[in-house]
Amino acid sequence: SMFQLPILNFSPQQVAGVCETLEESGDIERLGRFLWSLPVAPAACEALNKNESVLRARAIVSFHTGNYRELYHILENHKFTKESHAKLQALWLEAHYQEAEKLRGRPLGPVDKYRVRKKFPLPRTIWDGEQKTHCFKERTRHLLREWYLQDPYPNPSKKRELAQATGLTPTQVGNWFKNRRQRDRAAAAKNR
């Protein structure tokens, strides 16, 4: 098979092709071995280090071997195209979550994860500055507000009904009400 070929005869394009194939197959171990076998000649290295597929492969292998320093270094120092952003953002966040979990010695809750994201914002090399909004459509918010004014504490069946009306999950509906009550309490406290 092509993986047995003497690696030195591969052009950077071919190396990139192998990286992409192995990445898509999910065979991270083999991808790691392939990267290890690449030539170390400075000229060859330089060509490969400019190649996005190779860099992405190195980032993935670094993540899977728990070498987060190397992962961050790759992600922070090379500009990636939009096609790679989602995958690399997931690696960046997951690595930071895992480091935080190790420090705390317990699983992170949603608030912990939020703090980690705030503390380690995505580098601009893997993010185009678009805020990922978690906001609902105006119609959805309008419906939830209407209900909130009638009853800020909807029971489970009401939540299910609202979920169906808005296309959200009952949990999302519950969280929206909880957050809204919290905001209202905070506002009331400030105005006292």
Give the global pTM: 0.65
CB 122 within 8 A of CB 89: yes
Q: Cα–Cα distances in Å, from 36 out to 18, 30, 45, 66, 153?
A: 13, 10, 12, 16, 58
Give residue 33's domain range: 2-123
38 in any annotated domain: yes
Supply 139's token pair. 């119609």
118, 160: one domain? no
Q: Which of 65, 100, 123 is the last residue of a domain?
A: 123
Of 136, 141, 93, give the one whose Cα is nearest residue 117. 93
161, 71: one domain? no
CB 106 within 8 A of CB 118: no
Note every long-range contact of 17-23, with CB atoms under 8 Å and residues 24 or more positions apart, other chains counting: 17/53, 19/53, 19/54, 19/56, 19/57, 20/53, 22/57, 23/53, 23/56, 23/57, 23/60
Q: Which of 69, 92, 123 is the last residue of a domain?
A: 123
Q: From first to last of its 192 residues, what are the pLDDT tens digits of the chain?
A: 455 445 556 788 899 999 999 999 999 999 999 999 887 777 778 888 889 999 999 999 999 999 999 999 999 999 999 999 999 999 999 999 999 999 999 998 878 888 999 999 999 999 988 765 566 778 888 889 999 999 999 999 999 999 988 888 899 999 999 999 999 998 888 887
Q: How many structural domains is the chain composed of?
A: 2
Q: Which of 123, 149, 169 is the last residue of a domain?
A: 123
Domain of residue 170, CATH code: 1.10.10.60
32, 103: one domain? yes
CB 170 within 8 A of CB 160: yes
182 in any annotated domain: yes
28, 53: one domain? yes
DSSP 122: P
39 in any annotated domain: yes
Using DSSP, state whether 10 is helix, strand or coil. coil
18, 87: one domain? yes
DSSP states along 54-122: HHHHHHHHHHHTT-HHHHHHHHHHS---HHHHHHHHHHHHHHHHHHHHHHHTS---HHHHHHHHHHSPP
